[in-house]
């Protein structure tokens, strides 16, 4: 069960006891100490391609997510208009409003993205830009986030993930650093849209488990353990 958006405390700084959530309520909670049994995680796919390896990786994540971690589809990033403050006043596009509400409702975020020209695809950056506003209360701030990626070559999207770390640093979004997940040589590891490489499946399952444990622990920063 997740908390309604207006009850969620991602900072652990609320002092009004009326703000305290029940033990089984949603966390999304750096340092808040909430430990919900079931964590709901919004997922974003950075590729719009029909036969996308990253989309297939996201499907595999849905299969391999441990008990207590429920993955929920986020918007198709191609549906979000390019961010423009002129259309983000009192009446932003419905797709952006729904995206922001979803970010506030869930306990975490998974971004599965390819690497485009040593960076993240424009649709991913655009989604972060929408999520980074309103500036007084950005829905992505404090939201525990996991980065996953698949590439056809040897880099496994590592440079795209570095660019994501950079953008998510500015939004004060906690990102799980260890283990990193970078799937290389994708054409050898997927067949008919299914991840069949056993080592990758095992690592993906472990990464998802670590992500849930990390959220429940309040997103600690550290070399060991997480
Ligand atoms: C515009 C563009 C730029 C790309 N740049 C990179 C890159 O910098 N590094 C890389 O490893 N692959 C790059 N690729 C290859 C993609 O990683 C590859 O097409 C991958 O399969 C895309 O992910 P998808 O299968 O989920 O669509 C690029 C592909 C495109 C279309």
Distance in Å, CA 164 to ligand 1 centroid: 15
Distance in Å, CA 214 to ligand 1 centroid: 30
Mean pLDDT check: name the lowest of 27-31, 79-83, 190-194. Answer: 27-31
Q: How far is residue 143's CA from residue 140's CA, in Å, rounded to a whole number?
A: 5
Look at ligand 1, atom 31, and give the residue with the nearest C-alpha: 116
**pLDDT confidence of residue 139:** 98
How large a percentage of the chain has pLDDT more than 90?
Answer: 78
**pLDDT confidence of residue 221:** 86
Mean pLDDT check: name the lowest of 42-46, 122-126, 173-177, 218-222. Answer: 218-222
Statement: residue 37 has pLDDT above 90: no
Ligand 1 environment, Cβ below 6 A: 47, 49, 52-54, 114-118, 151-153, 155, 186
Residue 118 backbone zone (phi > 0: left; psi -120 to 50: alpha; other: beta): left
Average pLDDT value for the chain: 87
Statement: residue 225 has pLDDT above 70: no
**pLDDT confidence of residue 192:** 95
Q: 51: burial class by Cβ within 10 Å (0-12, 13-18, 19+)?
A: exposed
Q: How far is residue 19's CA from residue 2's CA, in Å, rounded to a whole number?
A: 14
Q: How far is residue 84's CA from residue 118's CA, in Å, rounded to a whole number?
A: 25
Domain at 36-216, CATH from 3.40.50.360, 3.30.365.10, 3.40.50.300, 3.50.50.60: 3.40.50.360
Distance in Å, CA 167 to ligand 1 centroid: 19
Q: What is the mean pLDDT of residues 47-53?
A: 98
Distance in Å, CA 151 to ligand 1 centroid: 6
Statement: residue 23 has pLDDT above 90: no
Contact 145, 176 (CB under 8 A): yes
Statement: residue 86 has pLDDT above 80: yes
Q: How far is residue 86's CA from residue 114's CA, in Å, rounded to a whole number?
A: 29
**pLDDT confidence of residue 28:** 43
Statement: residue 203 has pLDDT above 70: yes
pTM metric for this prediction? 0.88
Look at ligand 1, atom 14, and give the residue with the nearest C-alpha: 116
Statement: residue 165 has pLDDT above 70: yes
Q: What is the mean pLDDT of residues 27-53?
A: 80
Look at ligand 1, atom 10, and give the residue with the nearest C-alpha: 115
Q: Map the chain to HEC letters.
A: CCCCHHHCCCCCCCCCHHHCCCCCCCCCCCCCCCCCCCEEEEEEECCCCCCCHHHHHHHHHHHHCCCCEEEEECCCHHHCCCCCHHHCCCCCCHHHHHHHHHHHHCCEEEEECCCECCECCHHHHHHHHHHCCCCCCCCCCCCCEEEEEECCCCCCCHHHHHHHHHHHHHCCCCECCCCCEEECCHHHCEECCEECCHHHHHHHHHHHHHHHHHHHCCCCCCCCCC
């Amino acid at each position: 069960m997740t908390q309604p958006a207006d009850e969620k405390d991602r900072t652990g700084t609320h002092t009004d006891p009326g703000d305290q959530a029940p033990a089984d309520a949603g966390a999304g909670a750096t340092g808040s100490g909430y430990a919900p049994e079931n964590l709901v995680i919004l997922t974003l796919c950075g590729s719009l391609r029909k036969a996308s390896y990253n989309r297939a990786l996201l499907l595999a994540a849905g299969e391999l997510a441990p008990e207590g971690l429920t993955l929920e589809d986020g918007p198709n990033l191609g549906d979000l208009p390019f961010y423009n403050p002129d259309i983000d006043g009192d009446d932003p596009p419905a797709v952006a409003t729904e995206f922001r509400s979803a970010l506030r409702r869930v306990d975490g975020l998974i971004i599965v993205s390819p690497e485009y020209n040593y960076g993240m695809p424009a649709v991913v950056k655009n989604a972060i830009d929408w999520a980074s506003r309103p500036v007084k209360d950005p829905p992505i701030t404090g939201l525990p986030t996991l980065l996953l990626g698949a590439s056809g070559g040897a880099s496994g999207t590592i440079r795209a993930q570095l660019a994501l770390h950079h953008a998510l640093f500015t939004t004060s979004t906690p990102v799980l650093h260890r283990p990193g997940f970078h799937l290389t040589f994708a054409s050898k590891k997927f067949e008919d849209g299914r991840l069949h490489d056993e080592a990758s499946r095992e690592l993906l399952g472990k990464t998802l488990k670590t992500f849930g444990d990390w959220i429940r622990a309040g997103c600690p920063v550290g070399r060991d353990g997480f």
